[in-house]
Amino acid sequence: MRELAHPDTADIRLTDVMHALSDPVRLAAVRQLAATGERHCGALHEGGVAASTMTHHLRVLREAGVTRTHVVGRERLVSLRREDLAVRFPGLLDAVLTAGQSEDLRVR
């Protein structure tokens, strides 16, 4: 299997990160990764989201520099690029995750 392309830390753009985090399915995947650490890509499927759709969402997150996907045998493992995002945009990821949690509480 070929290695997947990821932007270098210096090439991560705020507009790409914000776009990637603006989708509820992608934000839910990022929350799962923040809570649990590295996960098999199949473990990030949200209820009702087709595998092909989730593959698209994971690609958007990877290409934006939010996640890193590495291949181990036939599996793809996904992790947050927490340190890289903190270097480029200090506090952004935590702010987005915190804001999202308070929005969830208001909706319920």
Q: In this predicted model, what pLDDT tens digit does every residue of 48-83 receive, in sequence order?
A: 788 889 999 999 999 999 999 998 888 899 999 999
Quick one: CATH architecture of 12-101? Orthogonal Bundle (1.10)
Give the mean pLDDT of 94-107.
67
Q: Looking at the DSSP assignment, which residues form a beta bridge with residue 40?
A: 77
Tell which wins on pLDDT, 100 or 97. 97
The Cβ of residue 97 has, within 10 Å, a number of other Cβ atoms equal to 16
Q: Do residues 34 and 80 make contact, with C-beta atoms less than 8 angstroms apart? A: yes
- Out of 11-15, 37-41, 42-46, 71-75, pick the least confident: 42-46
pTM: 0.87
